């Protein structure tokens, strides 16, 4: 089978959807090597081409023909190349598929990560909301099948887009394999020195934006043992200024460390050095950092209200994203109870095995084969 992928993010994005896209293609290509996998993208970041995915014998990177406009290639022009490459199935990895693909005899699947722009519209510009809604609604209506990355996302698709639930498969995400191997004390000490990390710290990973609610952690910090600092790893946005003002107001400059542009290979070791991982987001499609933390053998405290309970399982702790007191109490509970820490680590690690790549890959291939038979 020749399988095509929308590779815009796989070939250009080193975070979030880029990691998801590369991991999915790489692992399914390894587990099912008799298929051919085509990654379609209008442009490529050269440093990404050095990653293992692009050196696999059954993976092909495809770009617009020379002289062809790249402007509307992903949404329309790509269809000619899909036909030429004899693609049997096209997988849109992030909310969209080419316009009219249903008319050229190629089956299609779309992965829907979330509908946050509809659930929490105030986080998005009007023009962005309109574009996202058009592309995602079209993809859900016209694709042969839909993959939702959580039960919560499936519920949103059914409710907000009036899609028959039988058309949707829930296939969870895994995380990069580098998070699944515990590093040596020597390796961790090197990273600790490189980033001047404290002996004890609370970890938060993700883009610093309003939806992810880092401000709540800052407000909770004065109520948490002074021995523990907060380490934040993520890209800054305009919301960061609000967070930093609150840090100054509370006199917490000495307790908060911001790390930017952390190489991906260093991130697993930073997780493994942490005492607890905290993600109080108002809304997530799934919550990959929680999976990374559980594989890293770190207790997790997250927020209620979206799908984080699905990612973290029954032995992580969940609090209201509006209560810094509840968040502080939950973190203190973990930090002061070694028996609880051990239970959360053990049970969390057992739970996260359901997101193992081999399991996820088989579910994905089953979805592909089911789609081809429709």
Residue 121 shares a structural domain with residue 249: no
User: So what's the pLDDT on residue 69?
Assistant: 67
Residue 349 shares a structural domain with residue 361: no
Residue 217 shares a structural domain with residue 164: no
| Structural domain for 250, as ranges | 177-354
Write out the chain's pLDDT in tens, 374 residues.
999 999 888 888 877 788 889 889 999 999 999 999 999 998 888 888 888 899 999 999 998 877 666 778 888 889 999 999 999 999 999 999 999 999 999 999 999 999 999 999 998 999 999 999 999 999 999 999 999 999 999 999 999 999 999 999 999 988 888 899 889 999 999 999 999 999 999 999 999 999 999 999 999 999 999 999 999 999 899 999 999 999 999 999 999 999 988 988 899 999 999 999 999 999 888 888 999 999 999 999 999 988 899 999 999 999 999 999 999 999 999 999 999 999 999 999 999 999 999 999 999 999 999 999 98
User: So what's the pLDDT on residue 50?
Assistant: 84
User: So what's the pLDDT on residue 52?
Assistant: 86
Only one residue has tokens 């899609």, namely 163
Residue 150 shares a structural domain with residue 250: no
Residue 244 shares a structural domain with residue 113: no
User: So what's the pLDDT on residue 178?
Assistant: 87
User: So what's the pLDDT on residue 67?
Assistant: 64
Provide the domain count of the chain: 2
Separation between Cα atoms, residue 310 and residue 293, nearest integer Å: 14
Residue 94 shares a structural domain with residue 199: no
Q: Cα Rg for the chain, rounded, in angstroms? A: 21
Residue 182 shares a structural domain with residue 169: no
User: So what's the pLDDT on residue 72?
Assistant: 80
User: So what's the pLDDT on residue 310?
Assistant: 94
Residue 133's CATH number: 3.40.50.2000
Residue 361 shares a structural domain with residue 337: no
pTM (2 decimals)?
0.88
Q: Are 100 and 74 in contact (CB under 8 A)?
A: no
**Cross-strand bridge partners of residue 36:** 2
Residue 236 shares a structural domain with residue 113: no
Residue 153 shares a structural domain with residue 242: no
Residue 186 shares a structural domain with residue 153: no
Residue 139 shares a structural domain with residue 188: no
């Amino acid at each position: 089978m020749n399988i095509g992928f929308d590779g815009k993010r796989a070939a250009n994005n080193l975070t979030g959807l880029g990691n998801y896209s590369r991991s999915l293609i790489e692992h399914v290509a390894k587990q099912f090597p008799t298929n051919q996998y085509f990654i379609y993208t209008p442009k490529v970041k050269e440093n990404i081409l050095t990653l293992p995915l692009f050196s696999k014998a059954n993976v092909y990177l495809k770009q617009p023909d020379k002289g062809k406009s790249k402007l509307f290639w992903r949404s329309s022009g790509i269809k000619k190349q899909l036909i030429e490459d004899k693609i049997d199935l096209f997988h849109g990895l992030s909310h969209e598929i080419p316009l009219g693909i249903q008319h050229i005899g190629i089956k299609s699947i779309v992965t829907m990560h979330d509908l946050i722009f509809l659930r929490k519209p105030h986080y998005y510009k009007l023009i962005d909301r309109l574009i996202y809604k058009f592309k995602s609604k079209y993809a859900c209506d016209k694709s042969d099948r839909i993959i939702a990355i959580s039960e919560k996302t499936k519920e949103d698709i059914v409710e907000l887009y009036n899609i028959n639930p039988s058309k949707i498969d829930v296939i969870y995400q895994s995380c990069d394999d580098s998070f699944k191997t515990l590093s040596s004390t020597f390796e961790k000490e090197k990273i600790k020195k490189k980033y001047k990390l404290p002996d004890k710290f609370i970890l938060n990973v993700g883009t610093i934006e309003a939806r992810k609610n880092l401000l709540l952690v800052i407000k909770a910090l004065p109520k948490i043992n002074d021995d523990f600092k907060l380490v934040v790893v993520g890209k800054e946005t305009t919301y960061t200024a609000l967070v930093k003002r609150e840090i100054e107001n509370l006199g917490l400059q000495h307790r908060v460390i911001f790390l930017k542009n952390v190489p991906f290979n260093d991130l697993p070791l930073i997780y493994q050095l942490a005492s607890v991982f905290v993600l109080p987001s108002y809304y997530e499609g799934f919550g990959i950092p929680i999976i990374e933390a559980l594989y890293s053998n770190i207790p997790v405290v997250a927020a209620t209200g979206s799908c984080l309970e699905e990612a973290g399982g029954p032995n992580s702790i969940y609090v209201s994203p509006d209560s810094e007191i509840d968040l502080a109490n939950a973190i203190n509970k973990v930090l002061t109870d070694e028996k609880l820490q051990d239970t959360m680590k053990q049970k969390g690690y057992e739970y996260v095995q359901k997101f193992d790549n081999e399991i996820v890959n088989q579910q994905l291939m089953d979805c592909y084969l089911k789609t081809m038979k429709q």
